[in-house]
Amino acid sequence: MESLRSKNYKRDFVTTFPGDESGNLTPRQTPGVLYSKAIPTPVEKVTLLAWSDELAAELGMQKPTEQQEVDILGGNLVTDTMYPYAACYAGHQFGSWAGQLGDGRAITLGEWETIAGKTFELQLKGAGPTAYSRRADGRAVLRSSVREYLMSEAMHYLGVPTTRALSLVTTGEPVLRDMFYNGNAAYEPGAIVMRVAPSFLRFGNFEILNSRKETDNLKNLVNWTIDRYYPHITGNDKVLTWFTEVVERTASLMVEWQRVGFVHGVMNTDNMSVLGLTIDYGPYSFVDDYDPDFTPNTTDLPGRRYAFGKQPGIAYWNLGCLAAALLPIVEKDKLLPALETYKEVYWRKYYQMMGNKLGLDKVTNEDTTLITQFEQTLTAIKPDMTMFFQLLIDLPLYVGSTQEVADHFKDSLYEDLKPEESELLFNLITNYLERLNRNTITRSASQELMRKTNPRFILRNYLLHQAIEELERGENQLFLKLQQALKEPYSDKFDEFFQTRPEWASQKAGCSMLSCSS
């Protein structure tokens, strides 16, 4: 086990590509470079609030025991072998080209190599301004930092590809935030998350180079990305092969989001990972009552571009933007067919995933009709998504009436069913039970498949809100309980959280809707 302070960090990215090494933190355009040096701005007092023992063990990293090591987690100490920088990238935001963006409040300290030879970037979020902060302060508040720390780890344990979170520290300094951009700014406690990933490269890292016609930099970044993160890809068409695999990984990620009911909230191209990871946790949410039009992001209203049911289509659109960025080095006639593979990959994996959620032995063309009926019925009656699929696992193999079906699912309902809704649900369940009777696997095997696919615990926004309020009061009981629960999302050990969203949380700020500042 190695310590944060004594580790000899690698710096392959900054030694490979041109960067602005001045250390100037003044917001500006930075043509010709892929990063800008950014020394974290010290804070008053770094206090360790949370630490992921499991992730640290994977990295071969010791938990900090001395204040100087804790100071690294808050940006108050940079070791000799680190090279802190902010990456330069661009992006399409809410469907429009936004030009240069970059890491406005994220600073990569260095690259940590494990004993097994794997390399991970260690990045501080909220450690002060960078050349890409524009009019912002580069800081993060406790509210948003708790959300990123817990959800990063929650998604990992759900089995969804994601960046990870190693630590959460408070800074001892207040940060001014206008939570809903409505002129009601207030001071909140500051905090910093150290997040970890093999790479934080986004679609936008490639878009910026194409937009600036920096073809050599674009070609070098693509080749470096392939050699480092896709070493199995070789040959004359390796760039095209790489893009095709990015398409496949992105489609797979969307299927996983839909499986657990996760809504990202800000699917801009600068928030899309070329490794197929969930990246940048802001105004996210899990779906409570099933609604394809649900978006947790106030900035996404009224158009709901990034709503739950639209995420797969937006991913395809974003991949089109990445394809456009690659046009200087790959022929359009080759890129378009590769992009179009998204639809086949997504739907194949989606129907297989839904078959697993329903406990089917295999998915036939006939089953896709049943899956569509599930989607339409759930949209009509809006049960709690997580609880509905849990209750489906223990559905009796015979139900004789609409009332019997309604009673079985009543704990997942936010409102009593109308007669026509009861009939819809009864017809669905009747068709489903008929299909289960044709399964070639046993009932217990079917239920086991469902238990592995359908989470029982999800990190709901109202739980996060309660934990944040407690932490702001100096209490951490719920925060610690959630840290344990998120590690076992498919078990019933934490059934105290197995309930629908309470009524008070439906309209409360931070529980139902959030902003990009979240």
pLDDT digits (tens, 9 = 90+) for 145-187: 999 999 999 999 999 999 999 999 999 999 998 876 677 789 9
Residue range 369-386: mean pLDDT, rounded: 98
Res 185: pLDDT? 86
- To 5 degrees, how large is the angle CA 305–CA 307–CA 310? 75
pLDDT (tens digit per residue) in 282-297: 999 999 999 999 999 9
Q: 375: Cβ–Cβ under 8 A, 6 or more apart, which residues?
A: 292
CA distance 261 to 286: 5
Beta bridge partners of 202: 273
Answer yes or no: are the C-beta atoms of 509 and 181 closer than 8 Å.
no
* Cα distances (angstroms) measured from residue 79 to each of 65, 288, 365, 432: 16, 44, 58, 60
Q: What is the pLDDT of residues 457-469, one digit of tens each?
A: 999 999 999 999 9
Reported confidence tier of residue 372, pLDDT bands at 50, 70, 90 = very high
**166: part of which helix (H) or strand (E)?**
strand 164-177
Q: What is the pLDDT of residue 233?
A: 97
pLDDT of residue 184: 79
Q: What's the whole-number average pLDDT of the chain? A: 96
Which of 191, 53, 172 lies closest to 128, judged by CA?
191
List beta partners, residue 120.
Answer: 112
Residues 254-258, mean pLDDT to the nearest whole number: 98
Q: Are 472 and 189 in contact (CB under 8 A)?
A: yes
Q: What share of the chain is helix, strand, coil (3-state, %, to 5)?
A: 45, 15, 40
Per-residue pLDDT at 515 exceeds 80? no
Q: What is the pLDDT of residue 494?
A: 98
Q: Give the Cα separation of 103 and 204 in Å (integer).
A: 11
Query: CA 156, CA 246: separation in Å to the nearest integer?
Result: 20
pLDDT value at position 65? 93
- Asked if residue 514 has pLDDT above 90, the reply is no
Looking up tokens 């498919």, which residue turns up?
A: 490
Question: Residue 517 has what pLDDT?
Answer: 59
Model confidence pLDDT, tens digit, residues 101-122:
999 999 999 999 999 999 999 9
Q: Which residues are catalytic?
A: 270
Q: What's the sign of the alpha-carbon dihedral 418, 420, 422, 428?
A: negative
Against a cut of 0.95, is the pTM above it? yes
Given a contact cutoff of 8 angstroms between Cβ atoms, the answer to whether 237 and 222 are in contact is no
HSE-up (13 A, CA, CB side) for residue 41: 19
Question: Which residues have C-beta within 8 Å of that of residue 114, sequence separation ≥ 6?
Answer: 58, 59, 60, 120
Q: Which residue has the tokens 């295999």?
A: 362
